[in-house]
Each structure stands twice: as structure tokens, then as C-alpha cells.
Structure 1
Amino acid sequence: MKFLCARFSEKIGSIDFVEKGTGSVVFRTCDEEKDRVVFQMGTSDAVRALTAAQMVCKDVAAVDINMGCPKSFSILTTLRRNMSIPVTCKIRLLKSSQDTVELARRIEKTGVSALAVHGRKVPDRPRDPAKWSEIADVVASLSIPVIANGDVFEYDDFQRIKVATGTSSVMVARGALWNASIFCPKGKLPWEEVKREYVRKSILWDNDIKSTKHTLKEMIMHHSSLELPEGKAVIKSDSLVDLARLYGEEKSYDFFVKN
């Protein structure tokens, strides 16, 4: 784990956790989202997990461990014993539904507050359909809330997956990366409009350039191609001002930076 320290950014009113030496922002949050944001990490080391969680625990609502595939349960147990905020975790499906249910039950016994289940197995590819029925098997076997994840690309999919699985809530990944307006009940906005708004928001909140480029590339790869001029220009961009010029947001950049 990188050696981090916390600092307050007066410019945008955020709490930044930065890497000592480089000053790179590793995690950023603010008071407005303190009771809503969940800090997720992936690790196989209980001590490192606890150290990271203790750094951010006063500024987040919960800590989540992205297990991906089965890891040591000592991580979850260590966090539960030493943290006052909720601890949750996220898993993928195992080879059989029975194996997944058994894993979920063992996780529940560690005392976590909720479990997210991605409806694909480790060897599955993103194009493979998420197995909602196997998420339902986990829901039926646990008493803690289960969060369904996989193949949610339209607003109506939220209700569809909840009905199909019986989960209390839904997690969205690629669908939100490709078009964040997926959360709008009236339907998604055109992706060109969403891209420009995302660039504006990145400028407003001084978002890390690597993070901003990653999201833009995900959007472009889904709707177009990185081999076209726009994609190549995003890849070559070294700063937010480069992206502002690319998407015609120079005025937004000048306004936010100067004010």
C-alpha cells in the first residue's frame, strides 16, 4: 500500500488522500457524501486492509472488500472487529451455485453488513450473460442484504434484476461508465452530451487526469473506437486543459480555474 496522508483542499472543499512524495490524489471525498460513499479496496492482506480502512473511516459511510474470487476470511473478520462503520464485500460466482451459496454463508458469519454478488464466474467474459438465477440462490440463503451486479445497462434493468433475484439493491459498473445518465428515470441522455458534461464535472472537481481519461476511453470504446481521431486525442491528452480544448470546454476551464 502506498504511504498516504490526508489533506483538505480549500479550492474545492474536498478531503484528499494523497501519496506522499508525489502528491498524487489516490482517493477524494467531501462532507456532502460522507454518509453515502463506500470505500472499496482489493487486497489479500488483513493488516494492510485495516491500515487503509482506518485512514478513511471518518470520511466514508462503509468499507467494502472486492474479493473477486475467494480470499482469506481473516480480512473481513479483522475489519469487523476493529471498525465501527459497516463492512461489506463483493464476490463473483463460483463453479457451482452450491459453492457460491456456501461461500456467501461463510462470509455472512464474519459479520459483514451486506454482500454484493457479480453474476459471472472468474473465467467468464463480459459478453457472457450474467447469471441472475444464481444470484437469486444466494439471496434465498442469506439473512443480510444482497446487492445484485451484472448486465444492468438501462434504467428498467434496475427493476428487472431486483425482481429476478430478490435483491434489496443493485450495483452498476459498465452501464454507468458508458453513460452515467442511466440513473435517470426518463431515459439516458445522448452520449455526446454526457461526455461533455463529464469533462465539465472533471474540471470543476479537479479530477485526476488518469481517472478522467479512463472513463472517457471506456465511453468511446463502447460507442465508437479509440482508433478514430477522438480516441487518439484523448489518449494523447496530458491534462484537463487538453481535454477541455478537445471537447470545446475552454470557457468552462477558464471559469472554474480562475474562480
Structure 2
Amino acid sequence: MDVTPTWPQIPRHTAARPAGHVDLEYGHGKLILAPMVRCGTLPMRMLALSEGADIVFSPETIDRRLARSKRVLNVVANTTDFVDLDDGSINLRLHAEEKSKLVVQIGSSDPENAVKAALAVADDCSGIDLNCGCPKKFSIVSAMGAALLSQPDRLCGILTALVENVPLPITAKIRMLETPEKTIELVQRIEKTGVSAITLHCRLRSERPQDPGHWDIFERVAQSIKIPLIANGDIYSMEDVERLKKIAPSVSSFMLARAPESNFSIFNPLIQKTPSEAIIAYAKAAVTYDMVFHNCKYVLMQMWPASQKKTNRRSKKGKPQNIGVVKSQDEDGTDDSVVAPVLPPILSLARTKSYQELCEVVPGLREVLDKCEAERLERSERLGREDLIRKDVVAELGPDCPYLPNEDIMHRVKRNSDGQVTGKEEVDGEADVARKKLRESVEDDK
């Protein structure tokens, strides 16, 4: 579809909602998990919700990948998977328990593709967000993400199409422009498309996470529109949230990224987990929700205490002890019966190559892994091979996600240090058979 400046600034209509439907509410001080590549997958979202997050965003998924996906109820992993019909990879994995608070973020440069992608997941989430702020090269060269900031006609055209055709609240996540005036002009134009809220990241397209955010822009922008403005950027604690409320009282809600990436329990207003407790909980959730190991390991590397090597207990020989627990004491020296896990140096995690090896690093993980494997094996045997799904390339979860029905051989993509594909491991040649079965099942559903 050709995108031109002739797209209307005010939508002709808003897509009808089902009877009894109540739109997701973005105002009133909501605490929101940001869309994060790798980190914002199902385990992190479920943990954030369990700790009190009001809304969770999925990682960005490209519109074309979602549009060509088959929705599969994965009774082995108890998830809803969007399986790519081209290569069998899982583009997005969702869970029924997160639906009422889940927003799926899509990357798009075309109204028609955006609508197709949004409709593909509309029954499994409560909102759709358009990524208009990612500054990474992949998004820019594809006219997505932050590239849309310099193409407001295209940006507003996509949002208008989503508002008019998707029966869910639509939002946009943007970055600030060169001046507050330009930013205000853009958000006011976006507001006229009929979106339900706008998230503003307080950095320029050229700025990176290590650059300080510009909190001073939030209040002016929030006052310039009538829909909720969600503040994002440099919010690392609940103290930051309270401080930002005073600086920008017109801001409606707050989106957190790097803080929950380090410890998802930041959403808990009463008590937060120690780094060790958060790491253990995430590892168990990754197994429970069938997260591919290399993705789980990546997240754990972000969560691992950077100073662990200095603070870790050591044996008489000066070597790190095996992971265990340390009892805390009251001021009078008496044991208060509270135990806290002790983690080994991060190098111990870096050396792991599988969940089996991770069990030697994370306490209590083996029991969870054994239980999940037994349950999934039993379900898989009941299903037989008729629901076989083969994954050949890395998508949201990667190529080696276990526990799919009777999946005994997995294809693995080899990549160099820059992430470029260099080849594949030799396999048994069943991939084409799996793809054929998948496509045949789609034809049968039509």
C-alpha cells in the first residue's frame, strides 16, 4: 500500500469493540513494563505481573512476521504460539493469564501490513503499540522505529489504519525530537489519529542509554495533549517515579525498562526481591514458560550482580564456594532464621551451555526442570507427532527451544560474533516434512 500525505488526520471511525469489551486504561499512575528485545519475553512479563505491574508490553515483532504466522495453541508448553509459516520459528509466545494486561508492540512501515499483524494477535492481547522510537539500524533502514519520526505522514497513516480497523486501543511509542516545540507538534498530530495514549522516551534518536534523559520535556508535552502521556527513560526506582511525579505532575503513567531488567520485583510496592532471589525466580520462570536457553542466559547475565566476585563467600583455598544459602543475624548476633541465596561469580553463569548446566549454578532449578520435562514428555506422548512444529532460525525464542511435541532433533543456526548467520548444524532432513505438515494444517483450517 502506498503511503502518502493524503491520509486523514482524524479517523473516519474507530473499530467497533465486542459487546462488553472494556478498553485498557493507560492513565492514573500505571506502572508499565517496557517493550524489551530478549528481556521482555514471556517469563519476564509474567514475573512483572506477579509483582504488581499494571501493564506489560511484548518485545517488538515485525508486522510481516506476525502476518504470516499461524496461531498455535501449544498444549505442551501451555502457551499460545505464533509460528512462522516460512521457517517454523516462533515469532511470539503469549499466555492466557497475561491477556488482560498485555500490549503487543509491532514494528511497521506500512498501514496494511500493520493492520494484518495487529488482527493476527487481537484475540490474545488488550492493546497494540506501534514502535516509533527504536534507533537501531535494522529499524531505520526498514523505515520503521525512529525512522517514522522524520516521516509523520507515514507514522500517522499507520496509526489511523490501526485505529480504524483493529478493535483494541492503539498506542504509539516515540522519542523526543530536536526541540520541545517539534515534539509537541508531533504528539498533537498523533493524538488526532485516535490513539489511546502516547509513550514518550526522553532521549533524542541520536542519544543512547548512557546519555542522560531529558525529564524536563515531559510536563510540557503532557499538558499539550488530552490523552495519557506515558513517561519513559531514566526511571530506575520507585523513588524516581515519585520524583518524576513532582517534576511532571501532568504525566499519566510510567514505563520502566532497565530497572525491571535488573530486578522485576521493582513493581512490588511492599517488598522487593534481593538480586539472588530475582535471578532464581527468573531462571525457574524461564523453564516453566519454555524459554530458549540462550535467551534465558542473556537475561540472567543482565540480572547478575556485577560485584558478585568481590562479595561472594570463599573457601579456605580462596575459590568460590558452591552456591548455597547464608543465614542472616540480628544485631545481637542471634540467628533470625532468614536465609538468602549466595550466587557464584558471573563467570560460572557465562560458562553454562544448557539448562542442565544452569542447574549447577542456580539453586532449586533442577527440581523445576525435572518436573517440567516430565509433564511435557507426558503431554507430548499423548499428542503424538501430528502437532510437530519445527524451528530452523532464531526468532523470538531461538532455534533450540525444547518441549515441543516429540521434538527430538533441533536445528541450530550458527552465528559469528556480530550475529551474522554462518551456517547450520547438520540435521536429519526432516525440516521440509515439518514445514509441509504445518502448511497442510493451515490449509485444512481454511
Equivalent AA in structure 1 for residue 252 of structure 2: S
DSSP 3-state at the match of 1:254? helix
| 1:1-259 alignment runs, 5 A limit | 1-2=64-65, 3-20=68-85, 22-68=87-133, 69=146, 70=149, 71=151, 72=154, 73-165=156-248, 166-220=250-304, 229-234=347-352, 237=353, 239-248=354-363, 249-259=365-375
CA distance in 1, matches of 2:170, 2:362: 40
CA distance in 2, matches of 1:119, 1:145: 16
Distance 1:25 1:224 in 2: 35
Q: Measure the CA separation in 1 of the matches of 2:200 and 2:270.
A: 27
Contact 2:197 2:227 survives alignment (8 Å)? yes
Extract unaligned runs of 5+ from structure 2. Answer: 1-63, 134-145, 310-344, 376-446
Measure, in 2, the Cα distance between the counterparts of 1:101 and 1:20: 41
User: What is the alpha-carbon distance in structure 2 between the residues aligned to residue 209 and residue 156 of structure 1?
Assistant: 34
1:128-163 deviations in Å (ceiling 9; x for gaps): 222112011110100001101111111222222233
Cα distance in 2 between the residues matched to 1:18 and 1:246 = 32
Aligned partners of 1:146 and 1:168 also within 8 Å = yes
Letter in 1 for 2:124: D
Partner of 2:408: none
* Aligned residue pair count: 255
**Counterpart of 2:216 in 1: which secondary structure?**
helix
With over 3 angstroms needed to count, the CA separation of the structure-2 counterparts of 1:24 and 1:222, relative to structure 1, is: farther
Q: Which has the higher contact order (CA 8 A, sep 6+)?
A: 2
Aligned mates of 2:113, 2:307 — CA distance in 1: 38
Q: Output the amino acid matched with 2:351.
A: A
Task: From the superposition, tell whether residues 56 and 36 of structure 1 become closer, same or farther in structure 2 (CA, over 3 Å).
Answer: same
Tell me the equivalent position of 2:22. Answer: none
Q: CA deviation at 1:180?
A: 0.7
Structure 1 vs Structure 2: percent identity of aligned residues? 33
Deviation at 1:93, TM superposition (A): 0.7
Task: Report Cα offsets for 1:38-95 as digits up to 9, x if no partner.
Answer: 0012222222211111110111100001101314221111111111111001001111
Inter-CA distance 187–132: structure 2 relative to 1 (3 Å threshold)? farther
Greater mean alpha carbon deviation, residues 87-96 or residues 128-137 = 128-137
Give the structure-1-normalised TM-score: 0.90
State the one-letter code of the partner of 2:75: E
| One-letter identity of the residue aligned with 1:45 | D
Aligned Cα RMSD in Å? 2.2
CA distance in 2, matches of 1:20, 1:59: 19
2:117 maps to amino acid:
A
Shift of 1:242: 3.8
More displaced stretch, 54-63 vs 181-190: 181-190
Deviation at 1:186, TM superposition (A): 3.2
Greater displacement, 214-223 / 2-11:
214-223
Structure with bigger gyration radius: 2
